[in-house]
A = this chain, B = another copy of it.
C-alpha cells in the first residue's frame, strides 16, 4: 500500500539500487537520472522506511535520554526541561531524533537501556545525572555503547562527559558571600551520593578555608532537589543557637523553599540572611527578592552533550577529541545576596 523504493524504481525505469543511491547521493549517479528519480519520488509521495533502513545500516539516527529515577518525581525541576531543550535542539539539527526514557529503580533503568541499545532502537544515550556509583554507567561502559554523562563519574574519570566545574562554581559563590562580610555561612546540599552535591560542598569548604573560616557540621544540611528540603533546612538553621547569616544552596528550587520559610518566619532577605544558589533557572529572577544564582548554562550543557554524543557515534574512535567538556559558569548576583553581613 505504501510507496516503496521498488515502486519508484519501476516507474522511473531503473533498478531499486539506483533509487537507493540517489537517496544517499552516491557519486556515481548521473545528474540526469538523479533528477528523474527525485521527481518521481516527489510525484508518488515516496518516504523511506526507516525501519528497513536501520535494519541494514545498523544505525537508527536516534539517541535516548535517560532520566533520573522516577520521571514522575524529578521531572518537576525546570532544570531537566532546559537540558532536554538543549539536547533536542542540537540533535534535530544534526538529523537525530530523541527518545525519552524514564527509569524506575536502578535495575529497571539498566533494563531499559539494555532494551534500547541491544534492541538497536537507539544509537547512544545521554545520562542526565551522575551518581557516585552507577549500574547504568557500568553497563554502558562494559558493552562499549556510545554515551555521555551530564556530570562526571568518579569511577571512570575519562568517560565522555559534559559538566560544570562545580568545585569552582561553589567556591565563587561562597567567596561572593565572604566578600560581603559573612563569616557564618551555611550550605544546603542535595543527595549526598550525587557528584554534584559532593563537588559543590568541596568548593564551599575550600572557599571557607581560604578565608580562614572553619567549616561547621551543623551548618551543612543534606536533602533532595525539592522545595521541601529547602524549607526543612531553613527551619533547622534558624533553630540553631548560632545561626548562619548567609546560605549557599545547591539548587534554585531548594532556594525557593528556603525563601518561603524565611518569609514565613519574618526574616528579611537579604538584610537578615543572604542567599545564593545554583542553576539560574528562568524563574530565579522572579522570586521575591530576586535570587542570586550561579548560571551554569543548562541549555548549553544539553546542547554540548548531544553534540559530543553524536560525534562519538559517527566517529567511534577518533582520537584527539576531549572526553570532558566543561561549560563555563557565571555568577548572577541579584538582590538576595546584595547586602553586607549583619552585625
Contact = CB atoms under 8 A, between A and B. Distances in A.
Number of copies: 2
Nearest to A288: B288
A99 B61 CA distance: 12
A209 interface: no
Interface residues of A, number: 47
Contacts of A54: 51
Nearest to A87: B100
A101 interface: yes
B88 A49 contact: no
A60 B71 contact: no
Nearest to A108: B92
A9 B115 CA distance: 20
Contacts of A14: none
A100 B84 CA distance: 9
Contacts of A52: 55
A119 B72 contact: no
A51 B55 contact: yes
B50 A121 contact: yes
A65 to B, nearest CB: 8
A227 B283 CA distance: 10
A89 to B, nearest CB: 6
Interface string A106-139: 0000000011101111000000000000000000
Interface stretch (A28-36, A73-81, A194-202, A317-325): A73-81
Contact of A71 (B76, B85, B101): B85
Interface in A37-52: 47-52
Interface string A284-313: 001110000000000000000000000000
Interface string A54-75: 1100001010000000011001
6 smallest CB-CB distances across A and B, nearest first, come from A288-B288, A47-B118, A81-B81, A75-B85, A51-B54, A50-B119
Given A75-B82, A75-B85, 4 more contacts: A78-B81, A88-B102, A92-B101, A100-B100
Interface of A: 2, 47-52, 54-55, 60, 62, 71-72, 75-76, 78, 80-82, 84-85, 88-89, 92, 97-102, 114-116, 118-121, 227, 256, 259-260, 263, 282-283, 286-288
